[in-house]
Structures are given as C-alpha cells and as structure tokens.
C-alpha cells in the first residue's frame, strides 16, 4: 500500500469524526466544550450516569468526567486486561444511575460500578473478583446465555438494571426493576416479535417491534405508561389508530415522551416543578403542538430535552439547575458562553444528548448519513488506485472527511 506524509490524509481526505465535540454542563448551567484527546481517535458514543459523563472513542477507550470532583477534563477509565486485549469496537456505551456497561462487537460485556456494591445485580455476575467493577471496567459473565450464534443487537440500562437483546428477539434483564435479579434472566413478549428498539426509565420499559407495535412493561405510578395497570408483564399498547413517530422512556426517570406528526406529549413525574398546565399531586402531562417529523426527544432524571436540528434548537426544561421550569435553548447558551464556537454550532448537528442528576451532555458532529457518503467515496478512491482488493473493503467511519478537492 502507498505511504503518505500524513497516514490519514489522501488528496484532501482527512479524519472525519475529529470534529465531533462534547459539551457538558454540571449544576452551574455553563456548558464546557471538549474535543478528542487524539485527532485520530474521535468521540463515538456518549452517556451520563447519575454523576458521570462518559465518552468512548473509535479506538475503544472510555473516558469520564465526575460532577462531584469538579474535574476540568475527561480521565480515562481504568479497565481489566481482558478489555485491553479485546480489539473489537465498542458497540454500546450505556449507563444507569450508578453503573456503566460497555458492550463490544465481540459480544463481550464489561461493567463499572460507581460507589455501589457490584453484587446488587444491575451489572450481572463478574468473571473473577466480584468487587473489581468498583475499581475498573471488568468483564461480565455472559457465556451461559449468549451462544456462539447469538449477537447482542440492543442494549440499554435502567436506573438500577441492564437489558440486553439477542438476535433482535430475546430480552434479558438483570438488576432491579421492582423485583431484584442478581443475574440476567429472560423476559418474553408472548408473540416473540422482532425488536426494532427499546428504551427504559427508572422502572418502566417500552419496546418497539419492526411492524411498529409497542409493548410496555413495568411500573406506572406516575402515569408514564398511560392507562397501563402496574404489572411486570409485557402488554401491547393500544394506539387507537394514532400515528406514533416516537415513543420513548427517558433514562433514569419516570417520564415518557410521545411524538406524533403534530404533537409532543410528556407523561410522568418531572420533580417539584410541573411541566405544563395539567398537574396532579405527582402525575404530570404536558402537550404542545409541534412538527413531529423535525424533533427528537432526549432527557433523563427530571430533565426533558427536545432537539430540532433543522431549526438549531435544543430546548431543555425540568426541575434541576441545568433544566429549570422555563425552557431554554442549549445551543444558544453554548454560543453565548463560547462565541468562538458559533460557527461550529451552526454547521454541525446534535447527535446525542444524555442527562444525569445535574449533568447534561451534548454530542455534536457531522450527521451519520454524510459520513457514510464520504466512506463510500473513500472506498471508490481506494479501488481506483488499487489500494483495496475490492470496492466493498471496510473503511472505519472515523477515517475520513473530505475537506477540499485539491
């Protein structure tokens, strides 16, 4: 293969995701920008636990910043030797309030516990020392339910639990969702449908199947599951011919967001401040007219964040210092605090948003569709100069960005 002065630069082609940035706000409602530590190891996934904001990179490193320690930079999370030797890419970076889980493309699962005993069940059973997850990312025992022909296709964390989906069908749950489990146990939907997506809050779970059907599971103390009777058995949601664009349980919360073509509804418990006009003692319901095709709901704990990339709006509302009862636009706040980043904000999209107790983390960068287009162009280039054996050669999506056509 040809060598170049810059290994990742080929005739105007430069690393693509290095422009991904993270903006993190703790209790002071001031968002601090963070860029990757290495230009060739861009941010790929981001998540927030109760007190930590974590990010993983293309090379498989995991960094965190702790709200309680008032840190000014991301610190690499310590990991076990198995994690270091596992060269596969990180597929899922997920977190509950006190636990963090990393799922790799190798199907190996790793866990880290923040100030809790690792025998409380939310991370399953570790290989080796049961307390090692309090010190570093440690491998979770999964061979008893993940076979050679199985693939982890979905992974999410509730506040005190972890859920893995195998082959888009089999759902396994560990930890506490009303009942406590010390290891992964299978929970089934009666018709065994193929799963498209799932989201989980404090103690409620919403599953969407490939045919657009929704199933709900868990507690409904605050109306987060509509008229569903509290029971820990999957129940098919009656949509009453309503077109649902998005139905999501917000992480670490008793909240559910429902998006239709012309309306956004938020159900559940937001904290001490009511979200909207309709208020019961603990149960809130907010409804507003929107263009549902343009928005994506995020949030967690007692915060709701609504993203509209077309209008460059990232509206936050809730009952924490970072998301007060009066909505504000996070992107405008970042531009006000960091005027030098105004052009960056205007030319990039919000890719992901996560919330912890007093944390809001925002991942920004180039839309994935644009990256995939650039990947294909790069494959074509390699094929044209005979640097690839065939035109479908795998090129990591982190490798390129066409800056100019010199």
Question: Does the pLDDT at position 102 exceed 60?
Answer: yes
Token pair 């489990």: residue: 181
Residue 157 falls inside a structural domain = no
Residue 312: per-residue pLDDT: 93
3-state helix, strand, coil in the chain (%, to 5): 10, 40, 45
Residue 226: per-residue pLDDT: 82
Question: From CA 266, how far away is CA 248, in angstroms rounded?
Answer: 10
Residue among 351, 349, 352 nearest 300 (CA): 352
Q: Which residue has the higher pLDDT, 320 or 146?
A: 146
Number of domains in the chain: 1
CB-neighbour burial class of residue 198 (10 A; exposed 0-12, middle 13-18, buried 19+): buried
Question: From CA 200, how far away is CA 101, in angstroms rounded?
Answer: 15
Token pair 């983390």: residue: 361
Least confident of 97-101, 108-112, 118-122, 247-251: 118-122
Q: What is the pLDDT of residues 233-268, one digit of tens each?
A: 899 998 877 899 999 999 999 999 999 999 999 998
Residue 278: per-residue pLDDT: 40
Q: CA torsion 373→376→377→383, rounded to 10°?
A: 180
Least confident of 37-51, 146-160, 241-255, 392-406: 392-406
Q: Which residue has the higher pLDDT, 114 or 216?
A: 216
Residue 27: per-residue pLDDT: 74
**Residue range 310-319: average pLDDT?**
88
Residue 241: per-residue pLDDT: 78
**Residue range 124-141: average pLDDT?**
86
Residue 219: per-residue pLDDT: 85
Residue 284: per-residue pLDDT: 67
Mark out the alpha helices in 51-126 (DSSP H runs): 81-85
Residue 86 falls inside a structural domain = no
The confidence band for 116, taking pLDDT boundaries of 50, 70 and 90, is low
Q: What is the pLDDT of residues 185-226, one digit of tens each?
A: 999 998 899 999 999 999 999 999 999 999 999 888 888 888
Residue 148 falls inside a structural domain = no
Residue 180: per-residue pLDDT: 87
Question: Does the pLDDT at position 322 exceed 60?
Answer: yes
Residue 137 falls inside a structural domain = no
Residue 403: per-residue pLDDT: 40
Token pair 């965190």: residue: 64
CA dist 5 → 2, 11, 296, 375 (Å): 10, 11, 42, 21
pTM, two decimal places = 0.83
The confidence band for 130, taking pLDDT boundaries of 50, 70 and 90, is confident
- Determine the structural domain holding residue 7 and report its residue range: 1-16+368-406
Mean pLDDT estimate for the chain: 83
Question: Does the pLDDT at position 183 exceed 90?
Answer: yes
8 A C-beta contact, residue 23 and residue 362: yes
For residue 342, report the phi and psi dihedrals to the nearest 5 degrees. Answer: -60, -45
- Beta strands (DSSP E) in 74-126 are 75-76, 90-95, 99-104, 109-113
Question: Does the pLDDT at position 339 exceed 80?
Answer: yes
Residue 7 falls inside a structural domain = yes
User: Pairing relation of β-strands 313-318 and 328-329?
Assistant: antiparallel
Residue 405 falls inside a structural domain = yes
Residue 391 falls inside a structural domain = yes
The confidence band for 369, taking pLDDT boundaries of 50, 70 and 90, is low
Residue 250 falls inside a structural domain = no
Residue 240: per-residue pLDDT: 79
The confidence band for 114, taking pLDDT boundaries of 50, 70 and 90, is confident
Question: From CA 33, how far away is CA 338, in angstroms rounded?
Answer: 9
Token pair 């924490």: residue: 320
């Amino acid at each position: 293969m040809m060598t170049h002065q810059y290994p990742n630069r080929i005739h105007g082609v430069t690393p693509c995701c290095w422009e991904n940035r993270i903006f993190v706000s703790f209790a002071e409602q001031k968002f601090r920008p963070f860029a990757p530590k290495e230009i060739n190891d861009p941010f790929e996934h981001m998540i927030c636990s109760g007190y930590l904001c974590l990010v993983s990179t293309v090379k498989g490193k995991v960094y965190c910043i702790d709200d309680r320690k008032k840190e000014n930079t991301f610190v690499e999370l310590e990991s076990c030797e198995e994690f270091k030797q596992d060269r596969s890419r990180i597929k899922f970076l997920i977190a509950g309030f006190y636990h963090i889980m990393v799922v790799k493309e190798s199907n190996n699962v790793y866990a880290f516990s923040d100030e809790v005993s690792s025998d409380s069940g939310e991370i399953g059973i570790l290989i080796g020392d049961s307390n090692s997850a309090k010190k570093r990312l440690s491998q979770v025992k999964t061979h008893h339910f993940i076979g050679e022909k199985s693939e982890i296709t979905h992974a999410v964390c509730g506040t005190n639990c972890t859920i893995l989906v195998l082959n888009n069908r089999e759902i396994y749950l560990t930890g506490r969702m009303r009942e406590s489990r010390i290891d992964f146990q299978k929970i089934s939907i009666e018709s065994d449908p193929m799963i498209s997506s799932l989201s989980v809050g404090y103690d409620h779970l919403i599953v969407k199947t490939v045919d657009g059907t929704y199933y709900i599971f868990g507690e409904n103390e605050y109306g987060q599951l509509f008229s569903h009777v509290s029971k820990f058995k999957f129940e098919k949601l009656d949509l009453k011919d309503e077109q649902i664009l998005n139905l999501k349980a917000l992480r670490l919360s008793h909240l559910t967001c429902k998006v239709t073509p012309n309306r956004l509804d938020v159900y559940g418990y937001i904290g001490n401040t009511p979200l909207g006009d309709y208020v019961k003692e603990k149960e809130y319901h907010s409804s507003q007219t929107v263009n549902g095709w343009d928005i994506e709901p995020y949030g967690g704990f007692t915060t709701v964040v609504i993203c509209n990339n077309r209008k460059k709006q990232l509206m936050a509302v809730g009952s924490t210092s970072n998301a007060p009862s009066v909505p504000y636009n996070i992107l405008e706040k970042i531009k006000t605090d960091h005027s030098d980043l105004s052009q960056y904000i205007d030319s990039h999209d919000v890719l992901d948003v996560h919330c912890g107790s007093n944390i809001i983390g925002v991942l920004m960068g180039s839309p994935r569709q644009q990256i995939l287009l650039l990947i294909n162009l790069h494959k074509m280039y390699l094929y044209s100069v005979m640097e690839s054996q065939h035109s479908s050669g795998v090129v990591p999506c982190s490798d390129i960005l066409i800056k100019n056509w010199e």
